[in-house]
Amino acid sequence: MFKSTIFILHKIRLTFFTSKIKKHKSIKKLISLLAVLFLSCYALKSGVIIPANETFILGESNIKNYRAEINNTSKFKILIKGEKKQTGEYTQGVELPPKGNLRLYVTSDEVIRFINNNNMSVKINLQLTRGVEGMRYIKN
């Protein structure tokens, strides 16, 4: 009787710990799933410094549409110009004032030029909805 009671108690204890471990594993899975969802919705952020009298070109090798949130953190205006990749035809553009913000929709066949005609460097913060390939600087 005593041995069977100990065996039953031992079995109950194992069942209890096993259920705790299973619950712990399901919590880990839930946290992992939430982390993946968070990272997939997370936008790419970058601070870009454009040297004086230079142009930053974004999206030359890009093959998908994206959205860019642009924040001019400098004390100087910057010209933002969209062009078709094949023809160089003007598609969109704006002069972003100091401390100005802009939301820009860019198609896969466009490049965006951030033109700094100032004699000082300009800093912009970019937040992109996806990774954008193909960026470089050129002299004005």
Q: What integer best gives the mean pLDDT of the chain?
A: 80
pTM: 0.69
Domain 44-139 class in CATH: mainly beta
Contact 73, 32 (CB under 8 A): no
Is residue 121 very low, low, confident or very high in pLDDT (cuts 50, 70, 90)?
very high
The residue assigned the tokens 């919590």 is: 27
Q: Select the highest-mean-pLDDT range: 14-23, 25-34, 68-77.
A: 68-77
Comparing CA positions, the residue from 127, 99, 138, 118 lying closest to residue 52 is 118
Distance CA 12, CA 4 (A): 12
Mean pLDDT score, 51-80: 93
Q: Give the start-to-end residue ranges of the domains of the chain.
A: 1-42, 44-139
Burial class (CB in 10 A: 0-12, 13-18, 19+), 94: middle
